[in-house]
Structure 1
Amino acid sequence: MIKIKEITKDNYFLACELTTNKTGEPTLYEEFICSNAMSLAEAKYDLEMEPRTIHWNDTLIGFFMYKEVTEKQVMIYRFMLDYRFHQKGLGKKAMAAILEYLKNEQDVLLGVDPKNDIAKSLYQSFGFQFTGEINHGEHYYLLKR
């Protein structure tokens, strides 16, 4: 079962240790996303950002961060699963849990590196569609709800 939890003093460091790098070594900038440590620093100074951890049963497996853009739209700024949990079907379960966690009446916007075919496929499987907007090299996808 996937659970979404708030970042606390007890789990922030564990969240920072998660990585998408196959070597298991967290880096500041990973292949398609910046590190969770960078995201938590961003959330410290942009108080509208909402960082969360993703757990599978009692195991911390991932991280995401979102921000309410308007009353009708929320943006997911980060979404990652630790490399140890890739290719286990957990990405799809985690995204389903995130969408359930967010307000159902809000559209969901996110950006994705155009070279990240796995992420694009995942998002499209939930109904996200490319908006045509590109910002800082990221392609924006929108889920209308």
Structure 2
Amino acid sequence: MEISLKPVSDENWYDCAQLKVKQEQLNVFPFPVVFWIAESKYVEELELRGVYWNDDLVGFIVFCTKPDENGNFWIPALMIDEKHQGKGFGKAGLKKMIEEMRMMQCKKIMIGHRPNNEVAGELYESLGFKKVSDELVDGEIIRLLEIP
């Protein structure tokens, strides 16, 4: 499986905006991709990547290029389009994102998910993200990946 991450640009932003989750997943991924595209125009540290399988756009990732006050870099959003879920693209895309962030000298990566999104929790755990606390933050379970 050849997965790549490409910056969201003039050439692909509209295609990214067409990505969507399944109707029953709207409670775990409530913001459409177009929200993240708009926010990235006003929040300097947000960067966006399309997740591609060969030449096909299959998903979308949002990440921060600057750490928070505790030195944590965040991945605020990861989504795979409804037509491409269950094929390993989320895991492959997240692995690529972790490698990209490693090259940026990130040592701690944080990601969150809704408590009822067990698939996301299992995915993040499989890649080494550990639950930070049992308390929810903005309705999400927060996980941390420490990179040596």
Q: TM-score, normalised by structure 2?
A: 0.87
- The one-letter amino acid paired with 1:113 is R
More strand per residue: 1 or 2?
A: 1
Matched length: 140
Distance 1:57 1:22 in 2: 26
**Aligned equivalent of 2:21:** 20
Note the 1:97-112 alignment, pairs <5 A: 97-103=96-102, 105=105, 106-112=107-113
Q: Helix, strand or coil: the match of 2:14?
A: helix
Structure 1 residue 141 corresponds to structure 2 residue 143: yes
Q: In structure 2, list runs of 5 or more residues that go unmatched.
A: none
Q: After superposition, what is the alpha-carbon deviation per residue over 1:72-107, rounded to whole angstroms, capped at 9, x for unaligned?
A: 431001100001111112222111111112125421
* Aligned twin of 1:63: 60
SS in 1 for 2:60: strand
Say whether 1:38 aligns with 2:14. Answer: no
Segments of structure 1 that go 5 or more residues without pairing to the other structure are 24-28
Contact 1:43–1:51, Cα closer than 8 Å, also in 2: yes
Q: Which amino acid aligns with 2:11?
A: D
Corresponding position: 1:49 with 2:50 = no
Letter in 2 for 1:80: M
Pair 1:77 & 2:76 matched: yes
Give the Cα separation in 2 of the matches to 1:45 and 1:30: 24
- 1:121 partner letter: E
Distance in 2, Cα, partners of 1:81 & 1:50: 17
Alignment RMSD (CA, Å): 1.9
Q: List, as ranges, runs of 4+ consecutive aligned residues in structure 1 with deviation greater than 6 Å.
A: none
SS in 1 for 2:35: helix
Distance (whole Å) between structure 2 residues aligned to residue 58 and residue 103 of structure 1: 25
Q: Give the alignment's TM-score, normalised by structure 1.
A: 0.89
